[in-house]
């Protein structure tokens, strides 16, 4: 596994590096630290060009030292250009498996992550992405996975199952029983009777449960203990996942990057970005490569 940690001079980036350093990773994992000196900002303020580059170099140096203190060797470097393009292009060309960024909403020359850059990473990177938020304490984690039974959801669960986790970590799988039109205030199709609608709802519940059971089997084979839950829609998919994460006290939410929409599949792809940007905890969007 190759992990790229994109950093700037912010506390949020230091938190992301600290989170990477605190977790166990598969043997042989390679770590790279990248900071990008924004040449666009330098053009707008030519006198700041040297300072912008120095800040990027200092950011990667501090991150590398932070990882080294935890016994993690890394390659670190600063590049110049448009951060939105450079981070994504480098990750794609270097066959990175994971991009890790810190979550903050501050503005400034070097404080770009979770702004336009992070959105570009989430939308355009070919690999998986994690947006890191602070958790109450290091050690055991609560990991929440949302599944619709599709291959992308299975890939997300397999990604979790393939990695080591802090001792005592807990895992929960949720699936939403997608309902036919008529649910949550929409009119029922006139050609469907109430009994037919009940059959549709029952089939949706069954398939949601099968999605949970399939994910549970993947985790069980990896000797990870978890609990599964099927949710009946009472709000949007994004709201359900975010609410479940907050209520359970999740440290990390994991979703696949795309789902298939239809009578029995909800579109995880349409909720992965909102979940990543609005979760109260860290969030992973898993893509297959």
High-pLDDT (> 70) share of the chain, %: 78
Per the CB < 8 A criterion, the answer to whether 114 and 132 are in contact is: no
Domains and CATH numbers, the chain: 2-132 (3.40.50.620), 142-286 (3.40.50.620)
Could you tell me the pLDDT band of residue 98, with boundaries at 50, 70 and 90? very high
Residue appearing with tokens 């992965």: 272
Q: Which helix (H) or strand (E) holds 260?
A: none
Residue appearing with tokens 């330098």: 42
Could you tell me the pLDDT band of residue 182, with boundaries at 50, 70 and 90? very low
Q: Mean pLDDT throughout 126-141? A: 92
Could you tell me the pLDDT band of residue 178, with boundaries at 50, 70 and 90? low
Q: Is the pLDDT of residue 183 over 50?
A: no
Q: Is the pLDDT of residue 107 over 60?
A: no
Instruction: For residue 285, give every residue at least 6 positions away whose Cβ sits within 8 Å of its Cβ, in sequence order, or none.
Output: 122, 128, 129, 130, 255, 256, 257, 272, 273, 276
Alpha-helical segments (H) within the chain: 11-22, 39-44, 49-69, 83-93, 116-124, 151-161, 194-221, 237-248, 268-278
Q: Mean pLDDT throughout 59-81? A: 95
pLDDT score recorded for residue 44: 61
**Winning range, highest mean pLDDT, from 46-60, 248-262, 272-286:** 272-286
Model pLDDT for residues 255-276, shown as the tens digit of each residue: 998 633 333 334 455 678 888 8
pLDDT score recorded for residue 110: 40
Higher model confidence: residue 50 or residue 59? Answer: 59
Could you tell me the pLDDT band of residue 216, with boundaries at 50, 70 and 90? confident
202 three-class SS: helix
Phi and psi of 47, rounded to 5°?
A: -70, -15
Higher model confidence: residue 23 or residue 46? Answer: 23
Nearest to 48 by CA among 35, 39, 61, 36: 39
Could you tell me the pLDDT band of residue 213, with boundaries at 50, 70 and 90? confident
Model pLDDT for residues 139-160, shown as the tens digit of each residue: 999 999 998 888 888 999 999 9
pLDDT score recorded for residue 108: 45
Nearest to 131 by CA among 250, 288, 273: 273
């Amino acid at each position: 596994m190759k992990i790229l940690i994109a950093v700037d001079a912010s506390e949020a980036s230091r938190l992301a590096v600290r989170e990477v350093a605190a977790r166990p990773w598969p043997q042989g994992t390679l770590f790279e630290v990248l900071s990008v000196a924004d040449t666009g900002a330098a053009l707008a303020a030519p006198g700041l060009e040297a300072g912008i580059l120095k800040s990027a170099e200092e950011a990667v140096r501090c991150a590398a030292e932070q990882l080294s203190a935890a016994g993690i060797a890394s390659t670190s470097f600063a590049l110049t250009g448009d951060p939105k393009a450079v981070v994504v292009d480098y990750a794609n060309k270097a066959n990175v498996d994971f991009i890790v960024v810190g979550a903050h909403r501050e503005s400034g020359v070097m404080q770009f992550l979770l702004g336009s850059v992070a959105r570009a990473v989430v939308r355009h990177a070919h690999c998986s992405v994690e947006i890191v938020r602070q958790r109450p304490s290091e050690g055991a984690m609560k990991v929440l996975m949302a599944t619709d039974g599709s291959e992308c959801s299975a890939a997300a669960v397999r990604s979790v199952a393939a990695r080591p986790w802090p001792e005592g970590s807990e895992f929960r799988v949720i699936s939403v029983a997608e309902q036919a039109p008529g649910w949550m205030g929409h009119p029922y199709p006139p050609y469907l009777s109430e009994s037919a609608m009940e059959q549709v709802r029952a089939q949706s519940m069954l398939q949601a449960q099968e999605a949970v059971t399939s994910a549970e089997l993947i985790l069980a084979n990896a000797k990870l203990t978890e609990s599964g839950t099927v949710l009946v829609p009472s709000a949007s998919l994004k709201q359900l996942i975010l609410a479940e994460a907050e209520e359970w006290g999740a440290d990390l939410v994991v979703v696949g990057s795309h789902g298939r929409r239809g009578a029995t599949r909800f579109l995880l792809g349409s909720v992965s970005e909102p979940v990543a940007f609005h979760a109260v905890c860290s969030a992973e969007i898993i893509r297959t490569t």
